[in-house]
Amino acid sequence: MKFSLFVHMERLDASQDHRTLYEEFVTLCEIADRGGMHAIWTGEHHGMEFTIAPNPFVTIADLSRRTRTVRLGTGTVIAPFWHPIKLAGEAAMTDLICDGRLDVGIARGAYSFEYERLLPGLDAWGAGQRLRELIPAVKGIWAGDYAHEGEFWKFPATTSSPKPVQKPHPPIWVAARDPNSHEFAVANGCNVQVTPLWQDDEEVRSLMARFDDACAKHPEVERPKIMLLRHTYVGSDEADIAQAANEMSVYYNYFFAWFKNERPISQGLIERIPDEEIAANAMLSGEAMRRNNVVGAADEVIARIKGYEAMGYDEYSFWIDTGMSFARKKASLERFIAEVMPAFAE
């Protein structure tokens, strides 16, 4: 089992300074690198202070000069917002800058807020179709002298300049949920990233079953890797753990507010959700977060992840975006590195 950190800048109110938030983000990444984590993942979002990540390649280029050995992954770029030539070139240049440590995670995107601003009229189905056309095209451009005649893009023979350091190219990961996305990823030799979001371990088992079914349908393809992304908190005592669960409850209420795209947004900040509305949402209650997410003392967290390892997951990614303070994120990450990861050392 390998371990990674999934992390972004997040700004929840106008009093927070972007420079400070970035410095805190970098500090968490440096802790992950020094602590022996396998990878850091950071993604792409636009116009949302909830998750500040306009171009992960810029961020990764900076992190490559601040870290030593950790792999650096896009978690994820949003497929419909990229032309294949542009994505191939920027990824290859980033792989060059970070000395071959790049992983490329790609998703169709999740927020209609972003779709309606960057590609008005786009829906999740159309975004998924673009992802399916994009990935083979990017591989072709990396190989060189590749021409494309597709539904969404058409261009004459083109070669990525530069080419990636890694041969034949950086590992590609697809964010998958439904069976078709698992099958596409496996058939195209891509690794898979999954998350149950707020749901319990039954969904984690279901996601693995979809991946296993996809692998069984493509025995000609070497089995790819699969990564599990989960909100995680390693607490110091029960009061600390309960506070973390309640903070995750607030986070998920805002996550779904952004997903539904119904509340007013000003200066990139979504309208505040009343406390009583959060308290009334039983599906996302603190109790549900404590039960479903990986939230607990170190021994509880170890036991949960051992279960995921037994299911066949290759990588466990610590999703640290929770809206909690930097000090609390840092303390939990340090406990995870010191108290949880050694239980998985070979």
User: How many percent of the chain have pLDDT more than 90?
Assistant: 99
pLDDT of residue 100: 98
Whole-Å CA distances, 257 to 261, 269, 270: 6, 11, 8
Q: Are 108 and 123 in contact (CB under 8 A)?
A: no
Distance CA 195, CA 226 (A): 11
- The answer to whether the beta carbons of residues 301 and 294 sit under 8 Å apart is yes
Give the CATH number, domain containing residue 26.
3.20.20.30
Tokens of 3: 């371990």
**Residues 182-212: pLDDT tens digits?**
999 999 999 999 999 999 999 999 999 999 9
- Can you tell me the distance from the alpha carbon of 192 to that of 178, in angstroms, rounded to the nearest whole number? 12
d(CA 132, CA 179) in angstroms, rounded, equals: 14
- Through-space distance between the first and last CA atoms of the chain, rounded to whole angstroms: 9
Residues 6+ apart with CB under 8 A from 124: 108, 109, 110
pLDDT above 80 (res 346): no
- Residue 236's domain comprises 2-344
CB atoms within 10 A of CB 23: 12
The per-residue pLDDT for 45 is 98
Mean pLDDT of 214-232: 98
pLDDT digits (tens, 9 = 90+) for 284-306: 999 999 999 999 999 999 999 99
Say what the pLDDT of residue 265 is.
97
Report the distance separating Cα 122 and Cα 47, nearest Å. Answer: 17
What does the DSSP assignment read for 128-149? Answer: HHHHHHHHHHHHHHHHSSEEEE
Task: Round the average pLDDT of the chain to a whole number and report it.
Answer: 97
* Residue 132 to residue 90: CA distance in whole angstroms: 19
pLDDT above 70 covers what percent of the chain?
100
Summarize the confidence of residues 241-252 as an average pLDDT. 98
For residues 337 and 36, is the Cβ–Cβ distance under 8 A?
A: yes
Give the span between the Cα atoms of 59 and 92, in whole angstroms: 15
Banded pLDDT at 111 (limits 50, 70, 90): very high
CA angle 211, 192, 37 (to 5 degrees): 125
Q: What is residue 8's predicted lDDT score, i.e. its pLDDT?
A: 98
Digit-coded pLDDT (tens) for 117-174: 999 999 999 999 999 999 999 999 999 999 999 999 999 999 999 999 999 999 999 9
Handedness of CA 234, 237, 239, 240 (dihedral sign): negative
If one counts the domains in the chain, the total is 1
> Taking a C-beta distance cutoff of 8 angstroms, is the pair 39, 72 a contact?
yes
Whole-angstrom Cα distance, residue 3 to residue 14?
A: 33
